[in-house]
Amino acid sequence: MKIKVHQAIAYALIDLGVEVLTHVPGYGGSEVFQSYNELSMKKLPLSFHEEPAYSIAHSASICGKRSAVLIKAQGLAKAANAAVDSLYTNINAGFVSLIFDDKEGSHSDNIMETEQFVSGISFPYHLSEKENIYNDVVYAFFTSEKSKLPLALIIDSSIVNDEIELERRTDLKKKFSYKRDIANHVVHPMFAEYQYNVFCAKREGKDSALIPRPKLINVPNDLPERTKGAAQKYQPIFDYLKNAKIDFATGDTSSSSAYSLPPYNVINLVTHIGGSVSLAIGAYLSGFKNVWALTGDFGFISAGHLGLIEAIQRETPIKVVIFYNKLASATGGQTINKTLMRRLLAGYESYLVHLSNPNDPFEVAEKLDEVSKSDTLKILLADY
């Protein structure tokens, strides 16, 4: 049959069983997103910023759901913090960023050297061809799954309304599973060398399974002295979370993420600072129900609050814990203006729970019980 390119891309996503699809409006991607919603009879919401849009889809792929993000080339630059960190994780189901390249700058603020940018951040990519666009999308997912890496499919946005011949396939859907593996899912300095070696092996087509895995230490006792104190002050909260019935927990690259380690084993997934809320949304959309996001105040102020907008948009009842230190504790202890958090959370007052003494195990249990039992979004502000 003869259809438009944006419909062919949408059909490919549908035929592959992609259900977690995020999109920030832009020429090319918007046409595909509208076609996907119409053809699949869905009404997926828009995203407002590419970084949380990327992290939601990335998390879903780790959790075993094929996922994609539709963004302009300039949008990938905005999402680069999340995109670069995603290279150091092992995905389970395919994850493809469909990058719409406005080569003439007719719908953009500039003409971007997209291929050079993607190559410069060492991001795997494939250039699409108009007549083969359906198969290019399929190829991108299969390649992502084989390499266990995200992949960018670069599409000339000017072709999306052109007509092509399409022959659909019915043999593309596949089931994937999630298995907890913090060495490949927690992007953190303690795993940095191992994760870099794994990435290099995958990029070169070698067997990354041959790389010796890092030995896991116990938290907090085995942590280096310079980080032990920062982690220990969070211990009463993690003592509760360790025994709670949590299906999935996400974190930021910060002191609290050490509680991904034994004997606590609370956190499942960590990428960039400020990414925990968006990652939690992706886990929820992939099928996990009791999902928690754990973030420091610096990470939340820098990017985490962008994820709250997504949580409202998608009505995802995740639980968010903010370790309110008034300090950038992971980067040297720089002070944070105390009024910023109050201003950022002012619009979320109905979702907010205050923990005034995080060192009191009785108050910790009381407040976390309240959060855990809620069937809506909840934000616990732990005031240190």
**Do the domains 2-165 and 216-383 sit in the same CATH topology, yes or no?**
yes
Strands 67-72 and 95-101 turn out to be: parallel
- Per-residue confidence band for 329, with pLDDT thresholds at 50, 70 and 90: low
Candidates 93, 27, 81; CA nearest to 53 is: 81
pTM of the model: 0.96
CATH topology of domain 216-383: Rossmann fold (3.40.50)
CATH number, domain 2-165, options 1.10.1670.10, 3.10.20.30, 3.40.50.970, 1.50.40.10 = 3.40.50.970
Share of the chain above pLDDT 70, in %: 98
Question: What does the pLDDT look like over 27-72, one tens digit per residue?
Answer: 999 999 999 999 999 999 999 999 999 999 999 999 999 999 999 9
The mean pLDDT value of the chain amounts to: 95
**pLDDT band at residue 130, thresholds of 50, 70 and 90?**
very high
pLDDT of residue 49: 97
Q: How many percent of the chain have pLDDT more than 90?
A: 89
- Identify the pLDDT of residue 139: 98
Amino acid type, 352 = L
Whether 114 has a pLDDT exceeding 90, the answer reads yes
- Check pLDDT > 80 for residue 334: no
Say which amino acid occupies 64.
G
pLDDT at 107 over 80: yes
pLDDT category at 328 given cuts 50, 70, 90 is: low
What's the average model confidence in pLDDT over 257-272? Answer: 97
**Cis omega before residue 189 (within 30°)?**
no
Query: What is the pLDDT, as a whole number, of residue 327?
Result: 67
Domain limits, the chain: 2-165, 216-383
Spatial distance between the Cα atoms of 221 and 233, rounded to a whole number of angstroms: 13
Q: Residue 332 above 70 pLDDT?
A: no
Angle at 281 between CA 11 and CA 279, to 5 degrees: 100
202-256 per-position pLDDT tens digit: 999 999 999 999 999 999 999 988 888 889 999 999 999 999 989 999 999 888 9
Question: What confidence tier does 102 reach under pLDDT thresholds 50, 70, 90?
Answer: very high
pLDDT of the residue at 330: 63
Whether residue 333 is predicted with pLDDT greater than 90 in this model: the reply is no
Q: What is the mean pLDDT of residues 136-154?
A: 98
pLDDT for position 1: 82
Among residues 25, 2, 30, 1, the alpha carbon closest in space to that of 10 is found at 30
